[in-house]
Structure 1
Amino acid sequence: MLPSFGDEWKRKINLGGVSSAASQSSILNQVQAERQARAQHKDRTEKAIRIQAWYRGVKGARLAKSEMRSSFESDVMGLTGLRCLVLIGKDDEVLGKWSRAVLELGPEQVFAPAVGPHRTSWLVLIRQASLLLLQSVAARSPNSSKYLQVLNILLSNEIASNLLGSAGPATCTLITDYLMKHDLYAILRRSIESIPIKSKTPPNLLNLALLPLSTYPPESTQYAEVFAEIVLNILTIPLLPNRVPLDYLPKFISQLPIAKLDTLNPLVPRILASTSNTSKINLVAHIHMFISPRYKLLPPPAFTTYLQLSTLLINGIPLSVFKPPSSKGKKAPVHKEPDSDSDYDTKVSVVSEFVAMSTPSPPLVVDDRTKKRLQNIIAPAHLASLISITQSKPSLFPHVISYLFALTATWSSSQDEILNAVLASTSGGLVRELYRDLVRRSPLGVEANSGNVFDPVNASNWPPILLLADLYSQALLTMGDDEFFGSSSSSASGSRAVRNPLSLDELVSFSEQLLNIAFTMYWRDDQSIMHEVYVSSQVRCSWETVREKVTKCLLGIHARDSRKPFVPADHWLVTSQLDMNSFVEAAVLEEQQLSKPGTHHPRILSKRQIAAMSPRLGILNNIPFAIPFEVRVSIFRHFVMNDMASRETVRSHNRFATMNMGGSWRERVQVRRGMVSQDGFDRLGEVDLKAPIEIAFIDQFGQEEAGIDGGGVFKEFFTSLCKEVFDTDRGLWLANVKHELYPNPHAYATEPHSLNWYRFIGRILGKAMYEGILVDVAFAGFFLAKWLGRQSFLDDLSSLDPDLYNGLIFLKHYTGSVEELSLNFTMAVEEFGSTKAVDLIPNGSNIAVTKENRLTYIYLVSHYRLSKQIKQQSDAFFEGLSQMIDQKWLRMFNQQEVQILIGGVNSPIDLDDLRRNTNYGGLYDDNHETVVMFWNVVNSFDQEQRRALLRFVTSCSRPPLLGFKELAPNFSIREAGSDQYRLPTSSTCVNLLKLPRYATEKALRHKLLQAINSNAGFDLS
């Protein structure tokens, strides 16, 4: 047998064709490891090669630099040395040595090669050297001061021209061009900003920023480019004036070429697009500070550019920068309006809330010193200086107007102060020029319902008309009627009369223009455009704000016309553009939709919200005078009837349930004869006055008087109640010189119990208006204005406090030094026999009244007397009134019209109308002998006697607005026997005259006059 050697040497073959898993894995791992090892070895080799190459390069560079440094030192000021300096690059030692040599040897040496055979090479090298110097300055090299001196030499057109002659300017231009292409001003900006403010920027650095201006001709494109770079990179540096050494600041400002500002015109869009919000703020503050003291030196083209640029920059600044912090948690009374005479600063609408949420902007942090400089822009002294320039340079007028409008839009919280300052500085002259030169020629509002109102082409026409609307609205606040109508004359010594800046004829045209604009905006079906954030870049407010400004001015002019008409008949009406029947129907339907149960509208809708939801109600709530008064009264009665009907549906259901339970569906109230007001106050406080009220009188013996209240007993109660609660002896009301009522401003009238009485009286008066019961009471116009959320005017003060009014008029027209009058922003108030001073503004006792701020003082004094002193009382009254009368119903009228709704029209009594609407009882009819004598006698009465008769029978001396058909119940005459000695009596609760059958007309006349003039009482017989 052959020996066995084993099978280790044999190749193991798996006949199945697949190696085992363990063998395969180990082979793969081994292959992968070998591959990775080879890659690492290769990588190490390549890195070693690169390191060796780098080291050889560094070593060679060091050697080359060392050789170049040696060459440089052997020829510092020569061409070789300059070439070596550029090749060496940013080496502070080399640059420092070269700069010292230049400064020691003088500019002649550095510019010498510029006229030699190597001029071209020198120009290439010197430009690169200049850039190295500039970059080293930005890096805050220890030798920066030397580098700046050299740069000031190299970029000085004057030095180059002196040394090189005609070749000098070209040489300087080439160097400047090179640096401009390599961000000269961006580097300078970084250099200035890197220096701490307290350390101050070296004058050489600031001078360097201005040198390129001398290189180029002022009319060249390059000059404008340099100027634009200065504006963009230097004048936008934060707190630039604080960085400039104090002794150098005047020189720096004087070197700014403000007289050449017009060269920037083509580049203004670029300047605006290239500046951030922060840069805009800094630029506005700096150009105002630098240029405003030199207004008189500016040529008109430069001044125009200054105004245009400033306006655009101001319009680009976020409004949040100038808004005071909002006081959260404050809630305005429900009767207030966004444009009302409110004491609250926060005036928020649905639209403004939407805009605020949809366009959030991060708050900008502005340094206090910059804020102070910005505030100087709206200072009265600056505004007066600016406006005075336009008097000698008429071409600037349109641009000044746009600038002023931008100020009022951006500094919205200071708008009143700006407007007052403008008015005070021009005594109305600007208003007159603004209307005659710009607004009168404007295409806006030329015809009603014109589409050009929203046309972007007319964007530039809006600032003049809106500024005029704001200015005139503000002027009206402190303008007396004598001044408005041009009837004022020279007054006391030291003052002079000031007339209305616009003539009455001009006001007729201007108000028509405003009315056309307002009507177009309110009548627009699609109100979405009104919510746009800005009208245009030139008009920094929404269309809604535009509409409010126009409406406010329109209301002010209309208020004067309401007191003393001066416009043509039907001037205010837009009936030619509307079908009144369909208008009434649609308005009633729109109001039903807004008031429908289940809607999510708030109880009190603002005028803005109304206008957004309903075009017709928008007109009725904002410019109601555009619709005839009788139509509005009809709409008001429709609103009331609809409200009654909707409540009657609910009450019918409740009535059925109550009667099934054996109860009464009426609210039954017992009232003692001698305690009408107190019992009414105690027992009607929580009663729904819109529901039927059954009054039962309790006589002096504590017994309930017989009779069923079908409406007459309630009217008797109501008449007695009103007579008591409006009695001035009760202390809640005072009467002015015209015997018109207003809330007592005394402190005790603001106590909780007194405010509850005002609230109750408001409900009672609302009940009268709701039921159509006339109340013989007259309210002061300024108090009625509060009902409508409208502002009071200085002239309203004349009927309240004539002495104070005359004093304020004297102050307004005073031509002497106002400071001599020793007035401050306080108001003397007398309480309980002692006088105290109340600040009209914070720290008012330490703020003197001056010529510039006297209009503000006049407004604040009148506002305090007309509004603030009776604010709590008025709010309580309005709270009660609004429970009965929806505020949007009242806003359809002005003060005079509301008074008519309350007490009837103060017009001659139409006897024919009264006779047509008179009912007869007993033996009487229209042809009875006594009735014929009665009408003959009454026909001979004068108007005072007729009013006395009407008061005797109905308790109100004024006829109903829409005629005696509206008197409920109708005027009635009933036979009262044949006793010739008996006087006629009346039952005012049912408007009934009880007239005996007198034998002669003479006897009837005598007895009737005796009765109506002796105020014969209520007769139950």
Structure 2
Amino acid sequence: MIPLFGDEHIRRRKEINLGGNRSHSSHEDILLQAKAQRSQRHDQKRRQDSAARIQAWWRGVLQLRSVRQDLRRIFAQDVTSLVGLRCLVLIGTDEKLLGAWSNAIMNEAQDVLFNSEPSWRVLLRRTAYLLLRSIATWPQSEYALAHLNILCLLLSRSPFADEYLQYLLNHNFYRSIGKAVSAIPVEAKTSPSLPPLVELITAPFTKSDIIGRCLEDALVYVLTIPLLPNRLPLHLLTSLSARLPLTSLHLMPTSISDIVDCSYLAPPESKIHLLANLAVLTPPRYAKLTPAAFEVYLQLTAALMNNLPTHALEPPENKREISRNWADEDDSDDDTPKVAIVTSFEPAKLSTPLPELDKRTRTRLQTLPSPQHLNILLTAAQHHTSRLSLISFCFALTTVWPTRRDKVLGTAVAFNGGGLVREIYRLYVRSSPLGRDDESNGLTSSDRADAWPPLLFLVDLYTQALLTMGDDEFFSSGMSNSAPRNPLTVDELTTFSRKLLNIAFALYWREDPNNIQRGGVPGLGYLKWEDVREKLTKCLQAIHVRDSRRPFTPTGHWLVTSQVDMATFVQAAVLEERNLAVPEGARMLSKRQIAYMSPRLGILNNIPFAIPFEVRVSIFRHFVVNDMGSRGVDMHEFRARNRVTVRRSSLAQDGFDKLQDVDLHVPIAITFIDQFGNEEAGIDGGGVFKEFLTSLCKEVFDTDRGLWLANKKNELYPAPHSLATERHSLNWYRFIGRILGKALYEGILIDVAFAGFFLAKWLGKQSFLDDLASLDPDLYNGLLFLKHYTGDPEDLSLNFTAAEEEFGVARTVELIPNGSNIAVSKENRLQYIYLVSHYRLSKQIKRQSEAFFEGLSEMIDPKWLRMFNQQELQILLGGVNAPVDLENLRQHTNYGGLYDDHETTIELFWKVVNSFDHEQRRGLLRFATSCSRPPLLGFEALVPNFAIRDAGADENRLPTASTCVNLLKLPRYQNETVLREKLLQAINSNAGFDLS
């Protein structure tokens, strides 16, 4: 049967299920089926469209091939005609056709290059561009020389050279030239392409209206070529150097920062090669540069260096070593002094390593920080009014070449008798907003970027100058010929140091610690704020040391009490110290780590002089109390955990034998054995141990024992002879360090004075020439004579050795390898002076000092001591070397027995003591407390307080004392004259400890 409407209608009819089973298709199934059908239709259409496009493209390719074949045929019929040129341009890049055209033009039709018709000029512009692209890709092809010659003709002899040059400049002219030169091997100096390439580089420089743009492009694309001077024969290099318009550097249209940040100079290697090439081409022309061009040159080179990682320009062997220099010294026993510098709180994260520089490039770069180059540069800079660019350049040298830093700074300091230091301070730093008392916030703001280079460079310069500047120079007025003048006057130093203090304090205290730790200084590349803080701290410490030895600043100059509430500061510092406490055996924190984690402890460890001495002593005592608490010791209740018996006749040896391995942090009970072998009566409540400690110190510091020597001021330091370095002697030094630490820990004053240079070692400070005065004044004066000697030092017949005598035997020690054969000259005498000082101050007593410090550090955390300088540390040990304040003493005196403040004998006592002179008062204090100096925080800090107890009515008896408890036992004298006579007799006869 034939369907009524045909098969198609039958296919579209809806099927109707008349059965009993109903469809289970859901609504979602229907939607998914519709979506799948729609996707199939879309894919089919996309395939059809793609096929149509491919067919159209292929038809186009076939048509293009046909057209190109026609164009080539027409071109071949008349190569040098306008039609031929038009065909060449339409075809585009085809090296064979370009070569055929170039050869034909150079051989038979050069005149077409000078055709003035517009059609010719338009086509020649485009053809020049094609030639430029060709030589950039194939600079040594068989057609390259013809291409180059045509370009030279178009840009130098054509009347429309400006038009062609402008077009090529807009189409990466110098970039293409640079690629062409780079593609020629370094060894191929005889390449015929090089002369016309150099001609093309320099030809645009004759166009005065675009010379700045051309020079800028040449710097970026040509002078960044690695080993450019080695690629050119000498005559071409001379031609390039002579025609390079460096006097027009200031005409470059782009700012220096934009040039340095451009994509082509983004890789550090490009910056390095530009620096190396400028180092060859520019210094010989310093004198001819205009002030504006000279300033731009300095700005450019400084910006390039500031954008390089530290050590980027160092030889590979130096990159793997920490900076070493004879002026950066620790107490090492090595022949070559060195110092390890912590550069970051966290381990350094190295960026992508730079490719290894060619030795020839490194050699050229080394000329930049050389003294010879710097002297030429500084001389040329004298003719220019601005110093900011020179400052930025020199400062950049010190940051990118750390191992050359001292030579750069030394050359700058010495130039013109320190004139550069004075100029920088007076022209830029004195008026700088940085460090003003009324402007201590926002130091890290980018608005202050221009003020940092002069300040930081001056800080580096003056810190370097202080390394070899004796006190005679420091305080010199310049009126005497015996010592050079300090570049800064005392008044200028006062202002300068206050600026530095304000900045350093703000960087430790106020600014964001995360920014200080990780942020970079605006405009100074890789330099971090924590590096700035370290520079300022180092300079501040050096100036403060001079002020401590011979004060020149006004009272309160170093304090920041107006900016900080001291009570809160003490509480917070103690809390920070408690939080930083680490278990025994954990690693020690560096000063930089402490500054990052705790601003107050950072101040106390780096610029402690900003906080009043009394406040720091109070903090020190709080630290000790905290430590006692952590060990379960109650400072207000004496409970001995160890009991030690010592013989009075062998006090030092018994103390050494029995206390060597005992924990001295906890209370120790001492029992004395008298001369008859009997135990002395009495219970040690802490006072007997004090007597033991003071008596022990008198014995062990006796110079006759051979462990200590005394200078002319009777100040002690470790003996330098070989016997002092034996194991037994070193154990004694360690024991003495522990005992002295115990005295500091307990707050017991010890009547002993140490040489200033040795106290400096306690604080981890280096010893320099002026510290030698506290050891050997004669040697110190001799070295000063050598330092200022105006004749030839070689006439003095000195070499790099030191002579020493030990037990009557003389020997010679070489200060450096082969030192006996190296004469001291004008150039190396500062090194000699330093090495001699270092040997006497450090090397000779290195092992003795280390043993002593090991024992001291067991008792006292080294960072606690870093809160003080040498003079303050001596006060902490033995009390303040000042007149005895009798009023303060009387206010804090306790009375026992029949005495009170108004008893007759007591009234007479204070009347007599008031009549004593300074030495008699100190003698009374020594008699009663074992120490002649008053406590540094006043007699209220004396533990226990000074006390007077009656000793009966017998006026014939002399007063006695129990120094262990600071007790004076005074008979009830009723006559002023008798009391005075008996008291002085007791003091002068040094009556001993009385148990009654």
TM-score, L = length of structure 1: 0.82
1:302 aligns with 2:277: no
C-alpha contact 1:964 1:970 (8 A) present in aligned 2: yes
1:453-852 matches, within 5 Å, as 453-486=443-476, 490=480, 496-524=482-510, 526-538=512-524, 540-595=526-581, 604-648=588-632, 666-816=641-791, 833-840=809-816
Return the letter of the residue paired with 1:536. Answer: P
User: Offset at 1:140?
Assistant: 4.5
User: Offset at 1:628?
Assistant: 2.0
Return the letter of the residue paired with 2:214. Answer: V
Match of 2:932 in 1: 957
User: Offset at 1:769?
Assistant: 0.9
User: Offset at 1:1020?
Assistant: 4.3
Partner Cα separation in structure 2 for residue 817 and residue 381 of structure 1: 21
For residue 250 of structure 2, give the secondary structure of its aligned residue in structure 1: helix
Match of 1:5 in 2: none
For residue 836 of structure 1, give the secondary structure of its aligned residue in structure 2: strand
Match of 1:11 in 2: none
User: Offset at 1:988?
Assistant: 2.6
Partner Cα separation in structure 2 for residue 624 and residue 54 of structure 1: 82
User: Offset at 1:314?
Assistant: 0.4
1:231 aligns with 2:215: no
C-alpha contact 2:640 2:669 (8 A) present in aligned 1: no
Match of 1:195 in 2: 184
Alignment coverage as a number of residue pairs: 934
Match of 1:16 in 2: none
Partner Cα separation in structure 2 for residue 746 and residue 257 of structure 1: 67
Partner Cα separation in structure 2 for residue 896 and residue 509 of structure 1: 24
Partner Cα separation in structure 2 for residue 50 and residue 820 of structure 1: 92
C-alpha contact 2:424 2:458 (8 A) present in aligned 1: yes
Return the letter of the residue paired with 2:556. Answer: D
Match of 2:852 in 1: 877
1:442 aligns with 2:432: yes
Partner Cα separation in structure 2 for residue 749 and residue 148 of structure 1: 83
Match of 1:967 in 2: 942
Partner Cα separation in structure 1 for residue 919 and residue 492 of structure 2: 39
For residue 736 of structure 2, give the secondary structure of its aligned residue in structure 1: helix
Partner Cα separation in structure 2 for residue 66 and residue 850 of structure 1: 82
User: Offset at 1:235?
Assistant: 1.0
1:381 aligns with 2:368: no
1:412-427 matches, within 5 Å, as 412-427=402-417
Partner Cα separation in structure 2 for residue 853 and residue 907 of structure 1: 44
User: Offset at 1:438?
Assistant: 0.3
Question: Residues 267-322 of structure 1: CA distance to partner in whole angstroms, max 9, x if unpaired?
Answer: 53442123111101111122122112221111011011111111111011122425
Match of 1:135 in 2: 134
Match of 2:30 in 1: none
1:906 aligns with 2:881: yes
User: Offset at 1:884?
Assistant: 1.7
TM-score, L = length of structure 2: 0.84
Partner Cα separation in structure 2 for residue 92 and residue 535 of structure 1: 52
Partner Cα separation in structure 1 for residue 622 and residue 367 of structure 2: 55
C-alpha contact 1:604 1:887 (8 A) present in aligned 2: no
User: Offset at 1:346?
Assistant: 3.5
User: Offset at 1:405?
Assistant: 1.8
C-alpha contact 2:948 2:967 (8 A) present in aligned 1: yes
C-alpha contact 1:948 1:957 (8 A) present in aligned 2: yes
Partner Cα separation in structure 1 for residue 904 and residue 475 of structure 2: 53
User: Offset at 1:388?
Assistant: 2.4
User: Offset at 1:423?
Assistant: 0.9
Question: Residues 408-466 of structure 1: CA distance to partner in whole angstroms, max 9, x if unpaired?
Answer: 22223433332222112243211211111001111112125632323221111111112
Question: Residues 596-638 of structure 1: CA distance to partner in whole angstroms, max 9, x if unpaired?
Answer: x77x995643332333233333333332222222222222222
Partner Cα separation in structure 1 for residue 802 and residue 106 of structure 2: 70
User: Offset at 1:685?
Assistant: 2.0
Question: Residues 299-352 of structure 1: CA distance to partner in whole angstroms, max 9, x if unpaired?
Answer: 011011111111111011122425634569x9xxxx999xxxx96544336x53
TM-align CA RMSD? 4.1
C-alpha contact 1:68 1:84 (8 A) present in aligned 2: yes
Partner Cα separation in structure 2 for residue 849 and residue 532 of structure 1: 45
Return the letter of the residue paired with 2:865. Answer: L
Match of 1:947 in 2: 922
Counterpart selection for 1:254 from 228, 235, 242: 242
Return the letter of the residue paired with 1:444. Answer: L
1:268 aligns with 2:218: no
Partner Cα separation in structure 1 for residue 781 and residue 280 of structure 2: 41
Relative to 1, partners in 2 of residues 1:541 and 1:134: Cα closer, same or farther, differing over 3 Å? closer
Question: Residues 211-250 of structure 1: CA distance to partner in whole angstroms, max 9, x if unpaired?
Answer: 3554466553x43332222111211111222222234433
C-alpha contact 1:114 1:123 (8 A) present in aligned 2: no
For residue 483 of structure 1, give the secondary structure of its aligned residue in structure 2: helix
C-alpha contact 1:406 1:540 (8 A) present in aligned 2: no
1:91-110 matches, within 5 Å, as 110=110
User: Offset at 1:265?
Assistant: 5.0
Match of 1:22 in 2: none
C-alpha contact 1:185 1:209 (8 A) present in aligned 2: no
C-alpha contact 2:473 2:486 (8 A) present in aligned 1: yes
Aligned residues with identical type, % of pairs:
55
C-alpha contact 1:219 1:263 (8 A) present in aligned 2: no
Partner Cα separation in structure 1 for residue 341 and residue 719 of structure 2: 28
Return the letter of the residue paired with 1:224. Answer: G
C-alpha contact 1:696 1:709 (8 A) present in aligned 2: yes
Unaligned runs of 5+ in 2: 1-52
User: Offset at 1:260?
Assistant: 0.8
Partner Cα separation in structure 2 for residue 49 and residue 424 of structure 1: 79
Relative to 1, partners in 2 of residues 1:267 and 1:748: Cα closer, same or farther, differing over 3 Å? same
Tell me whether 143-152 or 632-641 shows the greater mean CA deviation.
143-152
C-alpha contact 1:740 1:778 (8 A) present in aligned 2: yes
1:75-154 matches, within 5 Å, as 110-111=110-111, 114-115=114-115, 120-121=119-120, 124-125=123-124, 128=127, 131-132=130-131, 135-136=134-135, 138-141=137-140, 143=142, 146-147=145-146, 150-151=149-150, 153-154=152-153
Match of 1:36 in 2: none
Return the letter of the residue paired with 1:121. Answer: W
User: Offset at 1:206?
Assistant: 5.7
Tell me whether 912-921 or 312-321 shows the greater mean CA deviation.
912-921
User: Offset at 1:393?
Assistant: 1.3
Partner Cα separation in structure 1 for residue 489 and residue 728 of structure 2: 50
Return the letter of the residue paired with 2:226. Answer: P
Unaligned runs of 5+ in 1: 1-45, 161-167, 656-663
For residue 175 of structure 2, give the secondary structure of its aligned residue in structure 1: helix
Partner Cα separation in structure 2 for residue 114 and residue 156 of structure 1: 11
User: Offset at 1:768?
Assistant: 0.4
Partner Cα separation in structure 1 for residue 530 and residue 401 of structure 2: 18
Partner Cα separation in structure 1 for residue 166 and residue 685 of structure 2: 99
Return the letter of the residue paired with 2:590. Answer: S
Return the letter of the residue paired with 1:955. Answer: S
Partner Cα separation in structure 1 for residue 195 and residue 785 of structure 2: 53
Partner Cα separation in structure 2 for residue 850 and residue 128 of structure 1: 67
Match of 1:410 in 2: 400
C-alpha contact 2:136 2:179 (8 A) present in aligned 1: no
Match of 2:342 in 1: 348
Partner Cα separation in structure 1 for residue 811 and residue 894 of structure 2: 59
Return the letter of the residue paired with 1:801. Answer: D
Counterpart selection for 1:211 from 188, 200, 212: 200
